[in-house]
Chains A and B, each alone.
Chain A
Amino acid sequence: MKLLNITTKYFLVSFLILLLLWAIAFFFIIKSKIENDVDEFLTSRKVQILQAIADNPKLLQEDSPVQPDYRIEKISPVQAKNISEHYRKIFLTDPVEHEPEPYQQLVTTFSTKTGYFKLTLQTSLVESRELIQIILFTVIALFLVLLLFVVFMNRKLLQKLWRPFYATLDQVGKYRLELPQKIQFPVTKISEFRELNETIDRLIKNNLQAFENQKRFTENASHEIQTPLAIVRNKAELLMQNPDLTAEQAELVQAMTENLSRLSRLNKSLLLLAKIQNNQFPETEEIDVQTILKKLFDDLNELMAFKNITFKMAAAGKAVVNMNPDLAEMLFGNLVRNAIRHNSENGKIEVTIKEGEVSIENTGLPFDGDTERLFQRFSKNSSHQDSYGLGLSIVKSICDFYRFSISYIVEKNIHKISIRF
Chain B
Amino acid sequence: MKLLVIEDEPDMLNSITSYLAKSGYVCEIAATYAEADERMWLYEYDCILLDISLPDGNGLDLLREIKERKNPAGVIIVSAKNSLDDKIAGLNLGADDYLPKPFHLSELQARVNAIIRRKNFAGKNEIVLENLVIDLDSKTVQVGEHFLTFTRKEYEMLLFFVSNKNRVVSKTSLAEHIWGDHIDQVDSYDFLYSQIKNLRKKLKELGSAFNIQSVYGLGYKFSTL
Contact = CB atoms under 8 A, between A and B. Distances in A.
A136 interface: no
A327 to B, nearest CB: 10
Contacts of B167: 241
Contacts of B145: none
B219 interface: yes
A10 interface: no
B137 interface: no
A337 B195 contact: no
B61 to A, nearest CB: 20
A99 interface: no
A372 interface: no
A250 B217 contact: yes
Interface in A253-284: 253-254, 257-258, 261-262, 264-265, 268, 271, 280-281
A238 interface: yes
Given A240-B170, A250-B218, A306-B191, A226 B102 contact: yes
A237 B216 contact: no
Nearest to A247: B216
Contact of B218 (A238, A240, A299, A326): A240
Given A235-B15, A237-B106, A303 B80 contact: no
A261 B179 contact: no
A159 B55 CA distance: 63
A351 B82 CA distance: 32
A95 B214 CA distance: 133
Contacts of A191: none
Given A227-B9, A227-B101, A231-B12, A302 B191 contact: yes
Contact of B80 (A226, A241, A254, A258): A226
Contact of A303 (B16, B101, B191): B191
B187 interface: yes
Interface string B139-180: 000000000000001000000000000011010110000011
Given A240-B170, A306-B194, A233 B104 contact: yes
B184 A265 contact: yes
A90 B184 CA distance: 109
B102 A257 contact: no
B51 to A, nearest CB: 10
B185 A391 contact: yes
B20 to A, nearest CB: 11
Enumerate the 7 nearest inter-chain pairs by beta-carbon distance, A residue then B residue, closest first: A230-B102, A250-B216, A306-B191, A234-B15, A230-B101, A231-B11, A240-B168
Contacts of B83: 280
Given A226-B102, A230-B103, A254-B216, A238 B15 contact: yes
B22 interface: yes
B216 A386 contact: no
Contacts, number: 115
Given A247-B216, A254-B217, A306-B194, A237 B81 contact: no
B122 interface: no
A229 B82 CA distance: 14
A378 to B, nearest CB: 15
Interface of A: 223, 226-227, 229-231, 233-235, 237-238, 240-241, 245, 247, 250-251, 253-254, 257-258, 261-262, 264-265, 268, 271, 280-281, 299-300, 302-303, 305-307, 326, 333-334, 337-338, 340-341, 384, 386-387, 391
A223 B80 contact: yes
B190 interface: yes
Contacts of B106: 237
A235 B105 CA distance: 9
Interface in B1-30: 9, 11-12, 15-16, 18-19, 22
Interface of B: 9, 11-12, 15-16, 18-19, 22, 80-84, 101-106, 153, 167-168, 170, 172-173, 179-182, 184-187, 190-191, 194-195, 215-219
Contacts of A341: 185-187
Contacts of A247: 216
Given A237-B104, A240-B219, A340 B15 contact: no
Nearest to A251: B217
Contact of B172 (A251, A258, A299, A303): A258
23 contacts: A227-B80, A230-B101, A233-B102, A234-B15, A234-B16, A234-B19, A237-B15, A240-B170, A240-B218, A241-B19, A245-B218, A250-B217, A257-B170, A257-B172, A261-B172, A264-B102, A271-B82, A299-B180, A302-B179, A302-B191, A303-B191, A340-B187, A386-B187
Given A223-B80, A303-B186, 11 more contacts: A227-B80, A229-B102, A237-B105, A250-B217, A251-B216, A251-B217, A280-B83, A302-B191, A306-B190, A341-B185, A341-B186
Contacts of B15: 231, 234-235, 237-238
Contacts of B170: 237, 240, 257
A238 B219 contact: no
Nearest to A343: B187
A361 B219 CA distance: 34
B68 to A, nearest CB: 27
B186 A340 contact: yes
A265 B182 CA distance: 8
